[in-house]
């Protein structure tokens, strides 16, 4: 049985400049987005991630090569049919040498394929098994996708203008958030030095991320409500504003910011946040009138030097062009780099693996 971490002891076998997770071996039985995103973040930090794929491969391979690459760079791929005895034996061999297994499948499939700690501890007492599901490992198999979880947790109901329909963000906020949370849970249990079953449900993650909204309701009875232009419930002004050209995000969180903005824009009065909240509509009308006199880009240029939190709304291509250092090459693909920067370490971004590239069957080494 493998010695599963040794993280409480100094590791002398890790080369200088290696990633902080060098020497950590993680297995992934993942599909589409949340699980593969979690393990890719860990691979970027130096972990060895082996993607265990069924004979047909992760279904995300059928979306597009670029889609698959965006979630699976720097990984290994082993093709195993886990429904067979040979596949289960190969799984046991891999588990015996691994620190963690992360899986995101339906709960019934996780149990059927023996991907829980109770099923795998016979191979490795210190294996950390992370089950990333929609509603919990014991909550059944109801379909759970990003949009579904946004709907069921109140996220969609909180997004959009009050007179319009609920709105879904333009990126997979639930999948990404759940993936990062699963990576955190996985690392925390590895550091403990003990094997265990870790559960992360997408539903729980998004309820957690509604933190102050939920607290206001639970403790003060304040029912969540949507405000126009994405306005913040506590800070005024804190929202999007149309300008002479483009939209501007202005986020005034305390009176010093307001003083700087008001001085530059020629607005008088409303000197305290309490007053601005009490006179919200009046304040917003005055600010909107002033911001309409110049472009979003010009307002950003005028207010940035004053330290005012402000930004012109950009498209994704514009945002990428503004941060060229965040564009990396992984094989044949240009992708967004890891957001975690560690001094002395530069990730060696590898290409996404070909299906079964590192083992094409249950009996391959």
221 found inside a domain: no
What is the predicted pLDDT for the residue at 18? 87
What is the predicted pLDDT for the residue at 7? 42
**Residues near 44 by beta carbon (within 8 Å), at least 6 away in sequence:** 19, 73, 74, 337, 338, 340, 347, 349
Averaged pLDDT score across all residues of the chain: 93
Query: Is residue 67 domain-shared with residue 121, that is, in the same domain?
Result: yes
Q: Residue 1 pLDDT more than 60?
A: no
251 found inside a domain: yes
7 found inside a domain: no
Average pLDDT on 82-101 reads 97
Query: Is residue 201 domain-shared with residue 58, that is, in the same domain?
Result: yes
pTM for this entry: 0.90
215 found inside a domain: no
CA angle, corner 198, sides to 187 and 59, nearest 5?
Answer: 90
The residues that bridge with 82 in the sheet, in sequence order, are none
Report the CATH number that the domain containing residue 199 is assigned in CATH. Answer: 3.40.50.10540
Rounded to an integer, what distance in angstroms lies between the CA atom of residue 296 and that of residue 101?
47
Decide if 35 contacts 100 (C-beta within 8 A).
Answer: no
pLDDT band (50, 70, 90) for residue 331: very high
Task: For residue range 208-217, list pLDDT tens digits in order.
Answer: 999 999 999 9
**Residues near 114 by beta carbon (within 8 Å), at least 6 away in sequence:** 82, 88, 91, 120
Query: Is residue 135 domain-shared with residue 278, that is, in the same domain?
Result: no
Query: Is residue 233 domain-shared with residue 195, that is, in the same domain?
Result: no
3-state secondary structure 188-214: HHHHHCCCEEEEEEHHHHHHHHCHHHH
Domain count, the chain: 2
Task: For residue range 223-251, list pLDDT tens digits in order.
Answer: 899 999 999 999 999 999 999 999 999 99
Q: Residue 364 pLDDT more than 80?
A: no
Q: Which domain holds residue 292?
A: 228-242+247-312
Query: Is residue 74 domain-shared with residue 171, that is, in the same domain?
Result: yes
Query: Is residue 255 domain-shared with residue 288, that is, in the same domain?
Result: yes
Query: Is residue 107 domain-shared with residue 254, that is, in the same domain?
Result: no
Task: For residue range 164-178, list pLDDT tens digits in order.
Answer: 999 999 999 999 999
Query: Is residue 34 domain-shared with residue 128, that is, in the same domain?
Result: yes
Task: Please provide the size of the chain in residues.
Answer: 365
Query: Is residue 194 domain-shared with residue 233, that is, in the same domain?
Result: no
Task: For residue range 313-322, list pLDDT tens digits in order.
Answer: 999 999 999 9
Rounded to an integer, what distance in angstroms lies between the CA atom of residue 286 and that of residue 337?
41
Omega within 30 of 0 (cis) for the link into 237: yes
Decide if 206 contacts 155 (C-beta within 8 A).
Answer: yes
């Amino acid at each position: 049985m493998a010695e599963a971490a040794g993280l409480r002891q100094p590791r002398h076998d890790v080369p200088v400049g290696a990633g902080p997770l060098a020497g950590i071996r993680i297995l992934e039985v993942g599909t589409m987005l949340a699980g593969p995103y979690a393990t890719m973040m860990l691979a970027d930090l130096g972990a060895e991630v082996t993607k265990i794929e069924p004979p047909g491969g992760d279904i995300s391979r059928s979306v597009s090569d670029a889609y698959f690459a965006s979630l699976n760079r720097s990984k290994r791929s082993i093709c195993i049919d886990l429904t067979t005895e040979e596949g289960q034996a190969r799984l046991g061999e891999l588990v015996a040498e691994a620190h963690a297994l992360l899986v995101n499948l339906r709960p019934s499939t996780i149990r059927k394929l023996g991907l829980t700690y109770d099923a795998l501890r016979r191979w490795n007492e210190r294996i950390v098994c992370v089950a990333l599901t929609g509603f919990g490992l014991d909550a059944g198999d109801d379909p759970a996708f990003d949009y579904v979880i946004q709907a069921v947790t109140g996220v969609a109901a909180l997004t959009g203008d009050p007179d319009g329909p609920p709105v879904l963000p333009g990126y997979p906020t639930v999948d990404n958030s759940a993936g990062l949370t699963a990576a955190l849970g996985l690392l925390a249990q590895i550091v403990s030095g003990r094997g265990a079953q870790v559960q992360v449900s997408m539903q729980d993650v998004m309820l957690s991320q509604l933190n102050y909204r939920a607290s206001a309701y639970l403790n003060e009875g304040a029912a969540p409500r949507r405000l126009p232009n994405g306005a913040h419930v506590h800070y005024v002004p804190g929202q999007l504003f149309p300008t002479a050209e483009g939209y501007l995000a202005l986020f005034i969180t305390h009176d010093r910011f307001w003083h700087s903005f008001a001085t530059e824009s020629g607005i008088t009065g409303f000197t305290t946040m309490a007053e601005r909240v009490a006179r919200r509509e009046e304040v917003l009308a005055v600010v909107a009138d002033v911001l309409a006199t110049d472009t979003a880009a010009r307002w950003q240029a005028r207010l940035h030097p004053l330290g005012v939190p402000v930004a012109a709304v950009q498209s994704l291509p514009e945002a990428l062009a503004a941060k060229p250092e965040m564009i990396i090459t992984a094989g044949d693909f240009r992708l967004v780099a890891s957001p975690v920067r560690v001094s002395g370490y530069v990730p060696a971004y590898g290409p996404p693996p070909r299906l079964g590239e590192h083992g094409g069957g249950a009996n391959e080494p």
